[in-house]
A = this chain, B = another copy of it.
Amino acid sequence: GDEAAAAAALARQAVLTKPPGSLGRLEDLAVWLARWQGRAIPKLDRISIVVFAGNHGVAARGVSAFPIDVTAQMVANYAAGGAGINRLAETAGAALSVVPLELDRPTADFTKAPAMDEADFLAAVSAGYEAVSPENDLLAVGEMGIGNTTAAAALCAALLGGGAGRWVGRGTGVDDHGLARKRDAVEAGLARHGAKVADPLAIAAALGGRELAAMMGATLAARRHGVPMLLDGYVASAAVLPLSRLSTDALAHCRAAHCSAEPGHKALLSALGLPPLLDVGMRLGEATGAAVAMLLVRAAVSCHAGMATFAEAGVAEKTS
């Protein structure tokens, strides 16, 4: 991050025609963008959203309310422009790209074997890394993958503890039986792979999925290129949890877009040290929460770049 640019942005916020601090987190967003873009007045000319899609062996255990075919069907829906993220990316003025990751070759069922071997895991991380353009002013990544809230819960349970019950939720809307199967699957995954917990990347390979690994790779690329990034929901946040275990400031370029209705997300964001911008009960994934938060970022930059200062406007400053 560029501390001089951040300091200049902070100084500008102090003289804009408003009580100091009165734009709340919009002020923080402007300073955060300034820090990572390296300019006192950040731009939002190139905003990108990348959605990664993957399939999960564990889905065969009946952990989702939807059949596994829906992953590919939704990828077709993205191409046709009919999904939530299509509409929200347009509203946010963001370029949307979708990266399907070997959908006809699901990961292994993690209750029986590691979800990915090292080669598969690295290929997915690399696909995510390559999907990020260094030219972006702001990035969000998201996911689609039937069964992936089970993978996310398993990652959280392995790396943060507390047992499956703390991290398993209804995802797309599974019933009570499905919820029990989901909990059982996570417990079985922990029993099989929990010994690898000292190696967060091994846990990511064993319990995660290709789209989670790709989101991790994209996060590394954004950090490498100094691109500020909005984290989406529960699965996207779980995907970067291994990075935060490796380095305490690995996510310094990230802000959490929203707190999902998925019950484990609040505790996960707290563990990541990232308070959410929004808490509006969304749980759709596909970067939809991040796209909505991009609207707040646009509002923040609009004020930061375009408001008059007290001197420019001839408005008296604070007297007490």
A interface, CB within 8 angstroms of B: 16-26, 62, 65-67, 69-70, 73-74, 76-77, 80-84, 86-88, 90-91, 171-175, 177-178, 261, 277-284, 288, 291-292, 295-296, 298-299, 302-303, 306-308, 312-320
Within the assembled complex, what's the spacing in Å between the Cα atoms of A81 and B312? 11
Chain B residues whose C-beta falls within 8 Å of the C-beta of A319 in the assembled complex? 65-67
9 cross-chain pairs, A with B, having the tightest CB-CB distances, nearest first: A82-B308, A24-B281, A19-B172, A295-B295, A22-B284, A25-B280, A24-B282, A87-B302, A73-B315
Among candidates B87, B296, B306, residue contacting A295 with C-beta atoms closer than 8 Å: B296
Can you list 29 pairs linking A and B with CB atoms under 8 Å apart? A19-B173, A19-B284, A21-B281, A21-B283, A23-B284, A24-B261, A24-B281, A26-B292, A62-B320, A65-B319, A66-B317, A67-B319, A69-B316, A70-B316, A73-B314, A77-B313, A82-B312, A83-B313, A87-B299, A87-B303, A87-B306, A87-B307, A88-B299, A90-B302, A173-B318, A174-B320, A175-B320, A277-B280, A291-B299
User: A296 to B314, Cβ gap below 8 A?
Assistant: no
Q: How far is the CB of A35 from chain B (nearest CB, A)?
A: 19
User: B313 to A82, Cβ gap below 8 A?
Assistant: yes
Chain B residues whose C-beta falls within 8 Å of the C-beta of A279 in the assembled complex? 279
9 additional A-B pairs beyond A19-B173, A19-B284, A77-B313, beta carbons within 8 Å, are: A16-B84, A17-B77, A19-B171, A24-B282, A66-B316, A69-B316, A83-B308, A277-B280, A295-B296
User: A24 to B283, Cβ gap below 8 A?
Assistant: yes
Within the assembled complex, what's the spacing in Å between the Cα atoms of A76 and B76? 52
Q: How far is the CB of A304 from chain B (nearest CB, A)?
A: 9
Within the assembled complex, what's the spacing in Å between the Cα atoms of A263 and B315? 26
User: B76 to A23, Cβ gap below 8 A?
Assistant: no
User: B283 to A313, Cβ gap below 8 A?
Assistant: no
Among candidates B25, B76, B178, B284, residue contacting A314 with C-beta atoms closer than 8 Å: B76
Within the assembled complex, what's the spacing in Å between the Cα atoms of A80 and B309? 12
Q: Interface centre among A17, A175, A316, by most B CB within 10 Å?
A: A17
Chain B residues whose C-beta falls within 8 Å of the C-beta of A24 in the assembled complex? 261, 280-283
User: A172 to B318, Cβ gap below 8 A?
Assistant: yes
Nearest residue, chain B, Cβ from A74: B315
Chain B residues whose C-beta falls within 8 Å of the C-beta of A91 in the assembled complex? 298-299, 302
Nearest residue, chain B, Cβ from A20: B173
Within the assembled complex, what's the spacing in Å between the Cα atoms of A281 and B174? 35
Nearest residue, chain B, Cβ from A298: B91
